[in-house]
C-alpha cells in the first residue's frame, strides 16, 4: 500500500497551492462578494493547461484522471480558493465527454473546453424532483424528423449564464411509459444560444463567485448529433458523472477546512486574553481544532481512495458517497471551530472566516443531501433494508 504521490500528481497539487497563493483568498473574496467569475484566475489556469486535466492528450488535455483533478481542487481550496465551476465544467462535463462521447463529439467539444473557448454547465436537478432524479419530468420528444424538441425546467444550475453548452439530463420516454424506472433517460449537449431557452437568477445567501440559475426549455430543437451515448440509455453512464462530483466536492470541503484551520491556528497563537498567554495554549481551544484537523485528513484520505477506485474502473459509489459525507461534515466542523477560535472577530468581514461557512454548509445539502448519502451507505454498503 503506497500513499506517495507520483511526480506528476505532486506537481499538480503544488501548482494548485502556488496559483492560489498568487491570487490569494482576498482575490477570491472580491469576486465572491460581487457574485462574478474570477476571470484572471481562470485565464491563468487555462493558459497553464489545467482545465483539461481529465481530457486525453489527443484532444488537448493532460491525460490525467480523477485523482489528479481532486488534488488540483484541494491545492486551490487549501489556500481559500474553492472553485465550484471546476466541478461542473472540467470534472463532470468534460470528464464524461472524454469517457463516453463519440469521436465526433469529442472533437467538437473537448479541444475548445481545454482552451476555455467553450464553457459548460451541467443540468440535472428539477424543482419537483430534487434528489430523486428518477422523477424528473423534462422530456425531449421525437419530432418525427430524426430530431427532438426539449421541454422542461432545471434548477440550481451553476454558472448557466457563462455556459456555451449545457449537459442536460432529460427523458426521451416519459416515466409512465417505461417498464424499468431507469429506462428512457438521454443526455444531450444543448447549445445555450438555441431558441426556446430562458434563465432566471437564483440569489443565494452567502458570497460565492459562481451563480445559480433556473433554466426553462420551450420546444428547444435538438438532433441525434447532440446525444451523448445512446438515446434512452443515459442513466447507464450518469454515475460516471455523479461519483466524480461527490469526490471533488469532498476535496473542496477538506481544502476549505484546512484553510480555516490555518487561519485559526495563526490567530490562536497570537491572541492573548488572560495572563499574557496565547489562547491556543488552552485545551478548550486546542481540542476542537485538533478534532477538526483529524476529521479533515480522514475525509481527504477517503476522497483519494474514491478517486483511485474511479480511475481504476472499480465500483466507486461506496467510497464516493462516504467521501462526500465525511468531507462536508469535516468542512463544517473546521470552519465552525475556526469561527469559535476567532471569537467576535470570526463574524467580521475583516477576518473572512464566516464567509466560508455558507459554502461548506451548502455541501451538506447539495448536490445530494446528507440523509440520502447515509441511506445509500446503509442499504448498498451495509445491507440494511431500503428505507424510502
> Can you give the pLDDT at residue 236?
87
Here the contacts of 101-108 (C-beta below 8 Å, separation 24 or greater) are 101/228, 101/229, 104/225, 105/189, 105/225, 105/228, 106/59, 107/59
The predicted-structure confidence for 357-381, as pLDDT tens digits, reads as follows 999 999 999 999 999 999 999 999 9
Positions in the chain short of pLDDT 50 = none
User: What are 215's strand-pairing partners?
Assistant: 154, 199
Coil, helix or strand at residue 44: helix
> Can you give the pLDDT at residue 20?
98
> Can you give the pLDDT at residue 372?
95
Backbone angles phi, psi at 355, to 5 degrees: -55, -30
> Can you give the pLDDT at residue 130?
80
> Can you give the pLDDT at residue 39?
96
The predicted-structure confidence for 178-230, as pLDDT tens digits, reads as follows 999 999 999 999 999 999 999 999 999 999 999 999 999 999 999 999 999 99
> Can you give the pLDDT at residue 24?
96
Residue 241's nearest CA partner among 158, 170, 316 is: 316
Q: Which domains does the chain have, with CATH numbers?
A: 7-115 (1.10.540.10), 120-233 (2.40.110.10), 237-381 (1.20.140.10)
Q: How many CB atoms lie within 10 A of CB 83?
A: 24
Amino acid at each position: 500500500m503506497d500513499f506517495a504521490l507520483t511526480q506528476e500528481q505532486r506537481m499538480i497539487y503544488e501548482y494548485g497551492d502556488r496559483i492560489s497563493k498568487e491570487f490569494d483568498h482576498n482575490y477570491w473574496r472580491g469576486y465572491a462578494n460581487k457574485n462574478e467569475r474570477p476571470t484572471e484566475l481562470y485565464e491563468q489556469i487555462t493558459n497553464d493547461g489545467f482545465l483539461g486535466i481529465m481530457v486525453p492528450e489527443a484532444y488537448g488535455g493532460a491525460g490525467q484522471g480523477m485523482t489528479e483533478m481532486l488534488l488540483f481542487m484541494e491545492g486551490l481550496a487549501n489556500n481559500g480558493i474553492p472553485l465550484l465551476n471546476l466541478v461542473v465544467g472540467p470534472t463532470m462535463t468534460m470528464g464524461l465527454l472524454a469517457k463516453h462521447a463519440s469521436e465526433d463529439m469529442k472533437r467538437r467539444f473537448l479541444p475548445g473546453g481545454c482552451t476555455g473557448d467553450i464553457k459548460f454547465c451541467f443540468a440535472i436537478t428539477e424543482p419537483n424532483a430534487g434528489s430523486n432524479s428518477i422523477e424528473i419530468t423534462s422530456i425531449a420528444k421525437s419530432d418525427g424528423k430524426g430530431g427532438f424538441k426539449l421541454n422542461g425546467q432545471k434548477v440550481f444550475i451553476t454558472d448557466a449564464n457563462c455556459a456555451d453548452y449545457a449537459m442536460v439530463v432529460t427523458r426521451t420516454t416519459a416515466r409512465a411509459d417505461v417498464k424499468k424506472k431507469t429506462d428512457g433517460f438521454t443526455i444531450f449537449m444543448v447549445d445555450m444560444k438555441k431558441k426556446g431557452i430562458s434563465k432566471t437568477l437564483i440569489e443565494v445567501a452567502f458570497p460565492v463567485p459562481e451563480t445559480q440559475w433556473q433554466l426553462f426549455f420551450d420546444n428547444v430543437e435538438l438532433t441525434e448529433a447532440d446525444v451523448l451515448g445512446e438515446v434512452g440509455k443515459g442513466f447507464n453512464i450518469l454515475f460516471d458523472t455523479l461519483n466524480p462530483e461527490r469526490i471533488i466536492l469532498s476535496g473542496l470541503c477538506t481544502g476549505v477546512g484546512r484553510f480555516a484551520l490555518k487561519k485559526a491556528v495563526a490567530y490562536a497563537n497570537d491572541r492573548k486574553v488572560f495572563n499574557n498567554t496565547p489562547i491556543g495554549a488552552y485545551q478548550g481551544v486546542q481540542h476542537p481544532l485538533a478534532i477538526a484537523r483529524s476529521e479533515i485528513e480522514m475525509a481527504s484520505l477517503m476522497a483519494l481512495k474514491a478517486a483511485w477506485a474511479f480511475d481504476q474502473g472499480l465500483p466507486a459509489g461506496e467510497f464516493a458517497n462516504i467521501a462526500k459525507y465525511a468531507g462536508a461534515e469535516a468542512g463544517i466542523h473546521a470552519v465552525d471551530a475556526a469561527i469559535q477560535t476567532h471569537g467576535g472577530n470570526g463574524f467580521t468581514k475583516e477576518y473572512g472566516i464566516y464567509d466560508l461557512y455558507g459554502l461548506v454548509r451548502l455541501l451538506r445539502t447539495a448536490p445530494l443531501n446528507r440523509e440520502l448519502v447515509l441511506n445509500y451507505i446503509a442499504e448498498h454498503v451495509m445491507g440494511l433494508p431500503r428505507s424510502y
